[in-house]
Structure 1
């Protein structure tokens, strides 16, 4: 199971009742935070999932509304008694490193190690044994990444087949992990007792970008997303600034990514401050992708494997 909540849904600046865009993912007792703008740790406390259990922070880019909550969060983690055996990993484009180095001026001594893992578009990382992270493209005015979190699912183990082959129960786990085993002098391969591949769980997070076909390709990689969280900076085209080119998406463009990638559900987020009520514009998305919602701070879902 993969639990997901939005800590904030605002873009550019926080508003009363609307924190800056950030997502929190819980899997296997660990937390993974995507972006950390001003006030994110307040939203974290309000959610109540815990702060000390944050395993990794995924930063999309270095703009202030996505990183300025880090100094306070790093210090809060220190006050939570996090120790030397509980490292914090921060992933992001290489351009984030100078930001992290400057932040350490505010938090020069921490009781836990902090490791920065730079990512480029196309990189893949095994964050845990059962969580894969993929870095994807965006088109923004600074280096920026989209993220895909994928929880694979093992093929179904055929107990009857294993018993017919005489495989002792204590060897089943090795076969499920993809290892071959010997029963006497006979070698048993995983495919002898495992069923066909099964669909995993997949979350895609996209922010601060204009629409591109590369986004669609990234979002649909491996399998369609169970949940696509995408910025919808503008409810419609009339909100897009006319005097400069701002690389952000409308509700309709985010819905186009969801539809073309085969997503099951679309959460819109990262709203322009000029949108007092984003839900007024939701039909602009639903005309293209019916299963779209104008998410709010605290929107939450639990994703489970399909049977």
Structure 2
């Protein structure tokens, strides 16, 4: 099975606490790292999680509130101190380059690498990144400012060769790539060996959905249906539902309703309000609706 892990670096909300760092996560897919949001303290949490800075080339920012992007200047500066040469790509709603440009010019002048900004629209889902391993699509959310979540969809791997069968039929090495990709094998004598006899299917592709700050929005259910893992903000308990609606956030119960209706396999809740010294109240509310719920916490690693 290929590696597909989610690392929680921070799961608090805007007001700092001694319990949580601001929002940030890293997806490790086949040893490539993709960061989602970058609140204060992110680079310290990268160290604690023993994630290699050099494998991080793409950062996805959900929206331009400080608790989701204040960690960027420090991280970019540290990359420079480490002698980075690979380009760093940052994807965000419109405005981040305008904000960051003067800071980078002052604090990070003369970087040994390029920081490349990519802006995306927040009204409709769109593919904003794709490589051989993954496709990243925006999930339009509803917050006080333009905001999107992200859907990470792993690409299917070729079939696995059954070594014993390949040896039995004396398949030449130069035929293996074709067979991995579904071709039958024709022996020198003209016999057709079906692909199903020579290979077994690879593991089904995995999907991870990240839903950042948003009011309860049923409209996302169709897009995230059936994902293996869903992170959904759960800033408040249901007793604060009015406050959640006022600030365009979600309660734990509402996050669980989204997970239930989308028939996801597992739910992680996070972005906790500083008012909760014990987030188990949020876990209890969510689990009552969707039992496969866990609480986010710093340095938590979840394998898909």
Q: Same fold (TM over 0.5)?
A: yes
Aligned to 1:94: 94
- Structure 1, residues 98-134: CA drift from partner, whole Å, max 9, x if none? 2232432332321111111222332214533111111
Q: 1:117 to 1:179 in 2, by over 3 A?
A: farther
Q: 1:25 corresponds to which residue?
A: 27
Change in CA separation of 1:131 and 1:238 when aligned onto 2, cut-off 3 Å? same
Partner of 1:237: 239
Superposition deviation, residue 138 in structure 1 = 0.1
Label 1:162 to 1:108 Cα distance change in 2 as closer, same or farther (>3 A). same
Deviation at residue 293 of structure 1 after TM alignment: 1.4
Q: Does the 8 Å CA contact 2:160/2:201 hold for their aligned counterparts?
A: no
Is the 8 Å Cα contact of residues 124 and 134 (structure 1) preserved in structure 2? Answer: yes
CA distance in 2, matches of 1:69, 1:155: 38
Local SS of the residue matching 1:104: helix
CA distance in 2, matches of 1:240, 1:276: 20
CA–CA distance in structure 2, aligned partners of residues 14 and 3 of structure 1: 26
Measured against aligned partners, the alpha-carbon deviations of 1:1-23 in whole angstroms (never above 9, x if no partner) come to 11211111101122113100111
Q: CA deviation at 1:174?
A: 3.7
Deviation of 1:265 after TM superposition, in Å, equals 1.0
What's the C-alpha RMSD, in Å, of the aligned pairs?
2.9
**Mind listing any 5+ residue stretches in structure 1 that lack a counterpart?**
none
SS in 2 for 1:272: coil
Q: Do residues 144 (structure 1) and 143 (structure 2) align?
A: no
2:278 aligned partner: 277
Structure 2: runs of 5+ lacking an equivalent: none
Change (3 A) 1:183 1:4: same
The answer to which of 141-150 and 194-203 deviates more is 194-203
How far off is 1:157 after superposition?
5.1
TM-score (normalizing by structure 1):
0.84
Whole-angstrom CA distance in 2 between matches of 1:99 and 1:178: 49
Find the counterpart in structure 2 of residue 260 from structure 1.
261
Q: Deviations over 1:255-278 (max 9, x none)?
A: 111111121111111011111111
Counterparts of 2:59 and 2:205, CA distance in 1:
22
Aligned equivalents of 1:18, 1:260: Cα separation in 2 = 29
Q: How many Å apart are 1:237 and its aligned residue?
A: 3.4
Pairs aligned (count): 295
User: 1:41, 1:68 → 2: CA distance?
Assistant: 11
Q: Secondary structure at the match of 2:280?
A: helix
Residue deviations 1:229-282, cap 9 Å, x none? 11101022326428x821110001111111111211111110111111111231
The 3 A distance-change label for structure 1 pair 191 and 150 is: farther
Task: State which of 162, 176, 180 in structure 2 corresponds to 1:176.
Answer: 180
- Once the two structures are superposed, the pairs formed by residues 118-137 of structure 1 within 5 Å of their partners are 118-120=119-121, 121-137=124-140
Tell whether the 8 Å contact from 1:235 to 1:275 is kept in structure 2 after alignment.
no
Following superposition, which runs of at least 4 residues in structure 1 exceed 6 angstroms of deviation? 160-167, 178-184, 190-197
- Cα distance change of structure 1 residues 89 and 174 upon mapping to structure 2, 3 Å threshold: farther
Give the C-alpha shift of residue 145 in structure 1: 0.9
Aligned to 1:200: 205
Q: Distance in 1 between matches of 2:275 and 2:209?
A: 26
* Between structures 1 and 2, the one with greater helix share: 2
Please point out which of 222, 227, 235 is paired with 1:217.
Answer: 222
Structure 1 stretch displaced more, 258-267 or 230-239: 230-239
Residues 1:59 and 2:28 are matched in the alignment: no
